[in-house]
């Protein structure tokens, strides 16, 4: 078995990469909402925080009733218990990556986790 997994360009409204990349510590999805559309539900998580990166377009997130504007290049972290819903702007689609990981699970990072 190889020490890496590679896939090509993903397309569509939502692509979850957990199975495609054989992820063991995170879920990553690539999402696109057309102009005026929204995720059709409000949700929170039991254990996982989510990190969002806006690839293109604009929209908003409503988290615990607070409206947060989202634009290309923005990063957003939402705690597990945050109730969230995402919307594309009326005049713009929004494409974003969502990285879902267990809150508080990172033991080491960057150089502290490197082996040379």
Burial class (CB in 10 A: 0-12, 13-18, 19+), 52: buried
Dihedral, CA atoms, 71, 75, 76, 80, nearest 10 degrees? 140
Portion of the chain with pLDDT greater than 90, in percent: 85
Chain centre distance of CA 60 = 14
- Of 65, 62, 72, 66, the C-alpha closest to 97 is 72
Among 2-11, 24-33, 101-110, the range of highest mean pLDDT: 24-33
Q: Is the dihedral of CA 9, 13, 37, 62 positive or negative?
A: negative
Average pLDDT over residues 94-109: 94
Q: What is the mean pLDDT of the chain?
A: 95
Q: Has residue 1 got a pLDDT over 80? A: no
The domain over range 14-83+90-104 is classified in CATH as 3.40.1110.10 = no
Q: Predicted confidence band at 63 (pLDDT cuts at 50, 70, 90)?
A: very high
State how far the Cα of 93 lies from the Cα of 116, in Å rounded to an integer.
43
Q: How many CA atoms lie within 13 A of 13 on its CB side?
A: 8
The pTM for the full model equals 0.91
């Amino acid at each position: 078995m190889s020490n890496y997994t590679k896939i090509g360009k993903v397309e569509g409204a939502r692509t979850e990469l957990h199975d495609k990349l054989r992820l063991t510590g995170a879920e990553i999805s690539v999402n696109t909402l057309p102009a005026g559309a929204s995720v059709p539900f409000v949700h929170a998580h039991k254990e996982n925080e989510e990190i969002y990166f806006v690839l293109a377009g604009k929209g908003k997130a409503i988290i615990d009733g607070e409206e947060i504007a989202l634009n290309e290049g923005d990063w957003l972290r939402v705690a597990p218990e945050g109730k969230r819903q995402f919307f594309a702007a009326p005049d713009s689609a929004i494409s974003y990556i969502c990285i879902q990981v267990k809150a508080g699970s990172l033991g080491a990072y960057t150089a502290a986790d490197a082996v040379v």
